[in-house]
């Protein structure tokens, strides 16, 4: 029988961890890990723990993630089945192919900073769906506890200050952001500053009281539409009202007798981790020392081949066909022939997997995991895309977009 491995990934390495009688959780921040463990203590399962961590990370790690962004959540159930919840942001209905063009030329900054860089947020819808279908505790309870942390504040650590220092100019462009994350002179807060976020706390408590409708249908949607209209943005209340978190079918492969399960596109994690492992399965890795030059070289080359494909083929499967053959064993064996054990290969372009449609135009996240003794496992990657997202906080909400 195959052993089963859930890919607890996409683009973040968790640092803090804790374990209790009923479960374990791993996050990037001790307060988020503590929130997850508190959820277990109150009778929650791993889904509750993950959502508690997610909402807390939106407070203490808001430069990486929050309810103004998106997420991918992979859930293993006690019956052995999986649920993959896609809560990534979507483009507003008014988005167009030339929205980032100015005078006929692409302006990349428009896609990174300001109103046009904001997608319709999906993380909150995903957390709500996960709790309603799989959790033991109400979403309002998790929101309330995270709101308390936002009200009481927390001391900014080196990691937070480092990231904040990188985007002072970006945050300074938007009053709603500057009043929270910068001092009165427009500088980053100093080491040891206790950051309090009363607006975010009120938003969390409003959602707890009125459900996610407050966010997707009510006051937040209205404030967002008004701000967008005044600042050249595209998102409307109808965009928020129309948002739905999606259920997707996980990506599956095997590696040396283990079943690997990961999140499907539009996430790159599942399909390309599967692709990398399929390539590496061609080689006799077990005979190599993990820290040997030979081992590192093969893993690096496999990753380079997969990332070349990622850049060309990966996208939103709802709008562009992502080849299923990317995770095929036969395709991996073909790619493996490009690897020279003695030197780095020159990879000038992507490869073409089976049944691919070829007529197509050709860091800043956090990951957290939770598991309990009943067999619930959760792997979630959440993001606001770049450090502090677009730089925008809709005034009065405290929510980084």
Would strands 377-383 and 70-76 be described as parallel, antiparallel, or unpaired?
A: antiparallel
Contacts 24+ apart (CB under 8 A), 218-225: 220/394, 220/397, 220/399, 223/394, 223/395, 223/396, 223/397, 224/394
Q: Are 56 and 49 in contact (CB under 8 A)?
A: no
Task: Establish whether 365 is a catalytic residue.
Answer: yes
Active-site residue, from 90, 113, 224, 365: 365
Q: Are 100 and 106 in contact (CB under 8 A)?
A: yes
What 3-state class would DSSP assign to 197?
Answer: coil
Q: What is the DSSP secondary-structure string of 35-64?
A: HHHHHHHTT--HHHHHHHHHHHHHHHSTTT
Residue 376, phi-psi category: left (phi > 0), alpha (psi -120 to 50), beta (remainder): beta
Residue 50, phi-psi category: left (phi > 0), alpha (psi -120 to 50), beta (remainder): alpha
**Angstrom distance (rounded) from CA 235 to CA 225:** 6
b/e map of 66-88 (b: 16 or more CB within 10 Å)?
Answer: bbbbbbbbbbbeeeeebbbbbbb
Residue with tokens 């860091």: 363
- For the annotated catalytic residues, the residue numbers are 365
């Amino acid at each position: 029988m195959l052993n089963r491995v859930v890919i607890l990934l996409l683009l973040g390495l968790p640092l803090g961890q804790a374990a209790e009688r009923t479960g374990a959780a791993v996050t990037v921040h001790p307060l988020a890990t503590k929130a997850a463990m508190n959820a277990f203590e109150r009778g929650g399962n791993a889904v509750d723990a993950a959502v508690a961590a997610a909402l807390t990370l939106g407070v203490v790690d808001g430069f990486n993630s929050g309810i103004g962004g998106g997420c991918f959540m992979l859930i293993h159930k006690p019956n052995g089945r999986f649920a993959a919840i896609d809560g990534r942001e979507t483009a507003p209905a008014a988005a167009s192919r030339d929205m980032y063009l100015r005078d006929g030329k692409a302006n990349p900054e428009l896609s990174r900073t300001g109103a046009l860089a904001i997608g319709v947020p999906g993380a909150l819808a995903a957390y709500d769906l996960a709790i309603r279908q799989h959790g033991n505790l109400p979403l309002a309870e998790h929101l309330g506890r995270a709101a308390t942390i936002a009200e009481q504040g927390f001391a900014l650590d080196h990691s937070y200050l480092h990231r904040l220092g990188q985007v002072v100019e970006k945050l300074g462009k938007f009053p709603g952001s500057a009043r929270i994350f910068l001092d009165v002179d427009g500088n980053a807060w100093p080491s040891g500053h206790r950051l309090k976020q009363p607006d975010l706390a009120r938003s969390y408590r409003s959602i707890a009281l009125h459900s996610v409708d407050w966010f997707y249908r009510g006051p937040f949607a209205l404030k967002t539409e008004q701000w967008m209209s005044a600042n050249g943005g595209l998102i409307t209340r109808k965009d928020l009202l129309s948002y739905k978190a999606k259920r997707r079918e996980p990506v599956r492969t095997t590696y040396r007798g283990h079943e690997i399960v990961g999140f499907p596109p539009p996430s790159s994690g599942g399909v390309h981790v599967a692709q990398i492992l399929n390539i590496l399965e061609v080689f006799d890795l077990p005979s190599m020392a993990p820290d040997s030059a030979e081992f590192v070289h093969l893993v690096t080359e496999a990753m380079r081949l997969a990332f070349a494909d990622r850049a060309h083929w990966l996208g939103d499967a709802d709008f562009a066909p992502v080849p299923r053959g990317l995770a095929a064993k036969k395709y991996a064996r073909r790619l493996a022939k490009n690897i020279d054990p003695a030197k780095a290969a020159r990879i000038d372009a992507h490869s073409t997997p089976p049944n691919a449609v070829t007529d197509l135009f050709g860091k800043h996240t956090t990951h957290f995991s939770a598991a309990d003794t009943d067999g619930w496992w959760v792997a979630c990657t959440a993001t606001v895309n770049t450090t502090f997202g677009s730089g925008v906080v809709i005034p009065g909400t405290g929510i980084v977009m």
